[in-house]
């Protein structure tokens, strides 16, 4: 976000802040409350308190216009009042809702506009209009909806989702809602037949206005598994996250907007009524240690209480309530990798308490006594929250990503008495799947060294835990860091550790800091999205190191969470050095590559040529170099299974290096007859930049101008490339095929270097008649042309 844009946004929100309200997005907290005050923005005394309307009193204001042809303004007001009454009628809750009058206008397309300049709404329905705390807009022709949600959004095809919408949009620092907006799409009230569904949707939206979150209970009503019975429908919460696709949802769900027991219980927790004839079960969910003792509280478990009918001895589908453990605790406070503020610059920790004693707590108050007695038995069971219930469908504190509960819990029966609270903790047996985390302690200031093999198992254990590891790398090398979230299963993986990859536990993020960075500083390189690789449960960061340095690798959960079941396998795949660092361009040399995180199957390439691998252990690969071009070569290591890759940039010199040169050892000859062999070989040596140290295996191109000579080293060809010998030398006798004076040339790796080092010699070729005359004096020596015939 640019500073200018950020400034505009903050200006707007600060304006709201001056009014003592908060207008921004953040996760909800469920199992009852839509929001819970956190540690920022709200007063410290409000921390951990579900947000409600102050004094349990809601005053709403309605549109001056009609809602639809069949719901004139007066009728619409009655319609709204009836929908509110579905909540105010809950006997166990103390809630007052008052119609404060009308808005100042008929809110319609005339005063709601969207243009290139933006969106304009009447002032008294904006979040800042706290003198009209709840604004109810009658969108007669859908123009308001079209302005807020987009073109076509008011069409009756969308009455399932867009007939009513809105919710709280401003909060006070003392933990109360101070404004909410509700829009009712008049196109969904076009006929009398449509009003039942509209009332249902409106009641749900008003439930959100009152501070209720979505709830998960009797999910078989939606999934059909097991087939729902009538009592399941009767207990299905009005505040379920998502409606089925139905031509008439009230018919499908057999609910015309009636708060069922789960809704009633949730409302009574927000607006408790003294002397209510209900009971409560409260407690906390816990992990266990190896001995079965309670340890850390467990968040995000749906706790379900079902009345046991004494007549049948069976649990009830109708009289049931649920609560998500840790509903008052934060579900996302940010993390060390991506930071602690959302995309609009607001702190995540403004919602949800940081008191870890609340991390597993649940509150099943509002339990009713259907048979009129003063005591009842409720069966308590646990279930996972549907992983789909995140974001706008979020249930519970983990609405950035649900967590599969660890361990099991056998349902228990609990006696509940009217007006009393029964304490019942839930201990999840088998949740202590991990051994001691051998990588702890680690901190940003004192990171643990990366294990020698570059491959380890650890956990983000303890709320807010983030793990840090120290590591050193060489400039221009690249690496991959892989973190696999694993579950608590006892299945043994390929590396001998237990646990299967999962996306339902930790959501690992990876960051890298330069050693010596200030704690709390943002990582210059990071992965901000968990599970970004093609492997299940794997987050991968690929990085290029631009300078020799030590680094800190940080691993954190997206939500900033830490639990005993947040295990992970980490691996740094990094090639550090190659020995020898210089080999012949011919290849065939044994290469020893040192690094981290190697596994069987790791492939090696020198330049663009694959290299044969002889052996692989975690820190070392032995490989046979392929033939290659002269010059500096990258050595690329790849793990095909994971896609991890590491490049040792310029890790290997093959043949001639860029600073090498070729020197002339022998470049002259006496005149040589055509068809005869030069008396002296054309002899050069490849040396390093010191001019002395010979270079073996470097490519030297031999050529002549004109081309009418044959190089013996080339098998009689007029030109070729040969490799320098162990002493760095290349030598060849020459046979001219025509008379003339030839320039002999030895170029060092001309295919690699655009201006290669080269040396030149000369050869003078004379005609064969001269040879004949001359040879008569040298009779019998023509066969020994390597020796001069002087």
Partner 1 sequence: MPNLVYHSRGLMQRKVRPRVLALLLAAGLPMMASGPTYAKELRVGPPIVLNPVVQRWMRFAGLIFRGTVTSIGPATSPLAGSPAVVEVTFHVDYGVRGVRSGAKLTVREWAGPWLTHPRYRVGERVFTVLYQPNAAGITSEVAGTGALRVNRFGNVAVPTAWLIDSDNEGEDSTATQGPLAPGTRLVGTTALVRQIRARPQPNQPVQP
Nearer to partner 1, 175 or 219 (CB): 219
Residue 569 interacts with partner 1 (CB under 8 A): yes or no: no
**Stretch near partner 1 under the rule CB under 8 A, chosen from 150-158, 188-196, 272-280, 355-363:** 150-158
Q: Which of residues 302-321 bind partner 1 (CB under 8 A)?
A: none
Map residues 484-523 to x or -, x wherever contact with partner 1 holds by CB under 8 A: -----------------xxxx-------xxx--x----xx
**Stretch near partner 1 under the rule CB under 8 A, chosen from 24-32, 95-103, 258-266, 408-416:** 24-32
Q: How far is the CB of 186 from partner 1 (least distance, A)?
A: 18
Contact 331, 254 (CB under 8 A): no
Among 124, 155, 383, 425, binds partner 1 (CB under 8 A): 155
Q: How far is the CB of 141 from partner 1 (least distance, A)?
A: 14
Beta bridge partners of 421: 280
340 CB burial (10 A radius; 0-12, 13-18, 19+): middle
Among 3, 192, 247, 777, binds partner 1 (CB under 8 A): 247
The neighbour count for residue 767, using CB atoms within 10 Å, is 13
**Stretch near partner 1 under the rule CB under 8 A, chosen from 19-27, 228-236, 564-572, 682-690:** 19-27
1 CB burial (10 A radius; 0-12, 13-18, 19+): exposed
Residue 524 interacts with partner 1 (CB under 8 A): yes or no: yes
Nearer to partner 1, 642 or 679 (CB): 642
Q: What token pair was written down for 496?
A: 């001998």
The neighbour count for residue 646, using CB atoms within 10 Å, is 28
Query: What 3-state class would DSSP assign to 198?
Result: helix
Phi, psi at 169, each rounded to 5° = -135, 10
Residue 19 interacts with partner 1 (CB under 8 A): yes or no: no
Q: How far is the CB of 572 from partner 1 (least distance, A)?
A: 13
Q: Which residue has the tokens 């003392």?
A: 174
Residue 153 interacts with partner 1 (CB under 8 A): yes or no: yes
Residue 58 interacts with partner 1 (CB under 8 A): yes or no: no
Among 64, 70, 81, 160, binds partner 1 (CB under 8 A): 160
Among 40, 141, 158, 622, binds partner 1 (CB under 8 A): 158
Nearer to partner 1, 104 or 624 (CB): 104
Residue 639 interacts with partner 1 (CB under 8 A): yes or no: no
* Distance in angstroms (rounded) separating the CA atoms of residues 26 and 33: 13
Residue 535 interacts with partner 1 (CB under 8 A): yes or no: yes
Residue 128 interacts with partner 1 (CB under 8 A): yes or no: yes
Nearer to partner 1, 355 or 383 (CB): 383
- DSSP structure class, residue 408: B
Contact 272, 335 (CB under 8 A): no
Among 74, 96, 120, 762, binds partner 1 (CB under 8 A): 120
* Distance in angstroms (rounded) separating the CA atoms of residues 408 and 406: 7
Q: How far is the CB of 149 from partner 1 (least distance, A)?
A: 4
Q: How far is the CB of 72 from partner 1 (least distance, A)?
A: 27
Nearer to partner 1, 545 or 662 (CB): 545
Among 80, 95, 434, 527, binds partner 1 (CB under 8 A): 527
Nearer to partner 1, 30 or 721 (CB): 30
Q: Which of residues 327-366 bind partner 1 (CB under 8 A)?
A: 342-344
Residue 36 interacts with partner 1 (CB under 8 A): yes or no: no
Phi, psi at 547, each rounded to 5° = -160, 145
Contact 286, 294 (CB under 8 A): yes
Beta bridge partners of 579: 592
Using alpha carbons, list the distances in angstroms from residue 589 to 624, 653, 655, 685, 721. 6, 12, 12, 22, 20
Nearer to partner 1, 29 or 742 (CB): 29
644-654 and 582-583 strand pairing: parallel
Q: What token pair was written down for 68?
A: 């639809």
Q: Which of residues 60-119 bind partner 1 (CB under 8 A)?
A: 114-119
Q: Region of 538 please: left (phi>0), alpha (psi -120 to 50) or beta.
A: beta
Q: How far is the CB of 391 from partner 1 (least distance, A)?
A: 5
Measured CA angle at 150 (ends 146, 152), to 5 deg: 70
For residue 682, give the H/E element and its range. Answer: strand 682-687
**Stretch near partner 1 under the rule CB under 8 A, chosen from 240-248, 659-667, 668-676, 697-705:** 240-248
Strands (E), 667-739: 672-673, 682-687, 699-705, 709-711, 720-723, 729-732, 734-736
- DSSP structure class, residue 746: E
Among 49, 185, 284, 533, binds partner 1 (CB under 8 A): 533
Q: Which of residues 364-423 bind partner 1 (CB under 8 A)?
A: 386-388, 391-394, 399-400
Nearer to partner 1, 561 or 660 (CB): 561
Residue 190 interacts with partner 1 (CB under 8 A): yes or no: no
Q: Which of residues 257-296 bind partner 1 (CB under 8 A)?
A: none
Q: Which of residues 455-484 bind partner 1 (CB under 8 A)?
A: 475
Q: What is the SS3 string spanning 127-150?
A: CCCCCCCEEEEEECCCHHHHHHHC
Among 5, 435, 614, 617, binds partner 1 (CB under 8 A): 5
Spatial CA neighbour of 398 closest among 326, 323, 465, 485: 326
Q: How far is the CB of 377 from partner 1 (least distance, A)?
A: 29
Residue 208 interacts with partner 1 (CB under 8 A): yes or no: yes
Spatial CA neighbour of 452 closest among 648, 639, 596: 596
**Stretch near partner 1 under the rule CB under 8 A, chosen from 70-78, 530-538, 670-678, 705-713:** 530-538
**Stretch near partner 1 under the rule CB under 8 A, chosen from 256-264, 525-533, 588-596, 606-614:** 525-533
423 CB burial (10 A radius; 0-12, 13-18, 19+): exposed
Q: Which of residues 540-559 bind partner 1 (CB under 8 A)?
A: 540-549, 551
Q: How far is the CB of 280 from partner 1 (least distance, A)?
A: 27
Q: How far is the CB of 119 from partner 1 (least distance, A)?
A: 5
Please, which residues have CB within 8 angstroms of residue 334's CB and are 6 or more apart in sequence?
A: 340, 341, 347, 348, 349, 560
Q: Which residue has the tokens 């610059």?
A: 345
Measured distance between the N- and C-terminal CA atoms of the chain, rounded to whole angstroms = 86
Distance from chain centroid for Cα 205: 32
């Amino acid at each position: 976000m640019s500073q200018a844009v950020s400034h505009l946004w903050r200006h707007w929100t600060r304006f709201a802040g001056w009014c003592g309200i908060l207008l921004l997005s953040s996760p909800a907290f469920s199992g009852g409350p839509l929001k819970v005050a956190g540690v920022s923005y709200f007063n410290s005394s409000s921390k951990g308190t579900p947000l409600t309307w102050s004094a349990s009193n809601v005053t709403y204001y309605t549109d001056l216009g009609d809602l639809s042809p069949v719901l004139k303004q007066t009728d619409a007001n009655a319609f709204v009042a009836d929908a509110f009454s579905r909540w105010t009628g809950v006997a166990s809750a103390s809630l007052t809702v008052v119609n404060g009058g009308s808005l100042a206008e008929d809110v319609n397309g005339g005063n709601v506009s969207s243009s290139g300049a933006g969106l304009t709404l009447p002032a008294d329905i904006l979040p800042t209009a706290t003198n009209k705390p709840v604004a109810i807009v009658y969108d007669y022709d859908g123009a308001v909806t079209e302005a807020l949600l987009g073109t076509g959004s008011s069409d009756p095809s969308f009455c399932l989702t867009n007939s009513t919408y809105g919710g709280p949009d401003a909060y006070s620092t003392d933990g109360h809602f101070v404004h909410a907006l509700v829009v009712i799409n008049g196109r969904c009230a076009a006929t009398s037949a449509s009003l039942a569904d509209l009332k249902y949707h409106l009641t749900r939206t008003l439930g959100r206005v009152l501070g209720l979150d979505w709830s998960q209970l009797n999910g078989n009503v939606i999934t059909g598994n097991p087939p729902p019975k009538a009592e399941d429908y009767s207990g299905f919460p009005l505040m379920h996250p998502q409606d089925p696709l139905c031509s008439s949802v009230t018919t499908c769900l057999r609910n015309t907007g009636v708060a069922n027991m789960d809704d009633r219980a949730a409302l009574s927790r927000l607006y408790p009524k003294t002397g209510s004839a209900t009971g409560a079960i409260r407690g906390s969910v816990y992990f266990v240690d190896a001995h079965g003792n309670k340890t850390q509280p467990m968040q995000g478990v749906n706790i379900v209480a079902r009345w046991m009918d004494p007549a049948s001895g069976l649990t009830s589908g109708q009289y049931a309530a649920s609560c998500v453990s840790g509903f008052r605790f934060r579900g996302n406070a940010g993390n060390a990798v991506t930071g602690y503020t959302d995309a609009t610059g607001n702190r995540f920790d403004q919602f949800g308490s940081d008191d870890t004693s609340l991390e597993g707590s649940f509150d099943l108050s509002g339990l009713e006594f259907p048979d009129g007695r003063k005591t009842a038995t409720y069966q308590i069971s646990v279930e996972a929250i549907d992983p789909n219930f995140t974001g706008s469908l979020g249930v519970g504190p983990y609405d950035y990503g649900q967590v599969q509960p660890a361990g099991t819990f056998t349902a228990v029966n609990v006696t509940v008495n009217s007006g009393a609270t029964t304490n019942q903790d839930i201990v999840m047996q088998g949740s202590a799947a991990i051994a001691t985390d051998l990588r702890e302690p680690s901190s940003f200031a004192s990171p643990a060294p990366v294990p020698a093999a570059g491959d380890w198992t650890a956990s983000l254990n303890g709320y807010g835990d983030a793990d840090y590891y120290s590591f050193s790398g060489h400039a221009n090398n690249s690496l991959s860091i892989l973190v696999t979230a694993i579950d608590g299963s006892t299945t043994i993986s390929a590396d001998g550790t237990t646990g299967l990859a999962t996306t339902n536990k930790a959501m690992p993020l990876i960051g890298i800091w330069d050693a010596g960075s200030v704690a709390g500083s943002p990582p210059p390189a990071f992965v901000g999205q968990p599970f970004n690789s093609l492997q299940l449960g794997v987050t991968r960061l690929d990085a290029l190191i631009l300078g020799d340095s030590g680094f800190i690798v940080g691993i954190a959960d997206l939500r900033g969470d830490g639990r005993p079941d947040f295990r992970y396998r980490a691996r740094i795949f990094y090639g550090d050095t190659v020995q020898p660092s210089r080999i012949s361009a011919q290849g065939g040399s044994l290469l020893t590559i040192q690094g981290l995180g190697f596994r069987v199957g790791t492939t090696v390439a020198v330049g663009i040529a694959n290299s044969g691998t002889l052996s692989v252990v975690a820190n070392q690969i032995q490989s046979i170099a392929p033939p290659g071009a002269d010059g500096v070569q990258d050595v690329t290591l790849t793990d095909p299974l994971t896609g991890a890759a590491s490049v040792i940039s310029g890790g290997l010199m093959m043949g001639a290096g860029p600073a090498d040169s070729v020197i002339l050892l022998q470049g002259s000859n006496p005149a040589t007859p055509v068809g005869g062999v030069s008396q002296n070989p054309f002899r050069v040596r490849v040396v390093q930049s010191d001019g002395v140290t010979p270079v073996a295996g470097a490519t030297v191109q031999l050529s002549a101008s004109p081309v009418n000579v044959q190089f013996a080293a080339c098998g009689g060809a007029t030109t070729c490339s040969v490799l320098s010998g162990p002493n760095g030398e290349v030598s060849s006798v020459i046979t001219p095929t025509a008379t003339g004076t030839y320039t002999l040339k030895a170029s060092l790796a001309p295919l690699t270097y655009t201006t290669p080092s080269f040396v030149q010699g000369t050869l003078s070729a004379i005609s064969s008649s001269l040879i004949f005359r001359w040879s008569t004096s040298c009779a019998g020596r023509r066969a020994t042309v390597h020796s001069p015939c002087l």
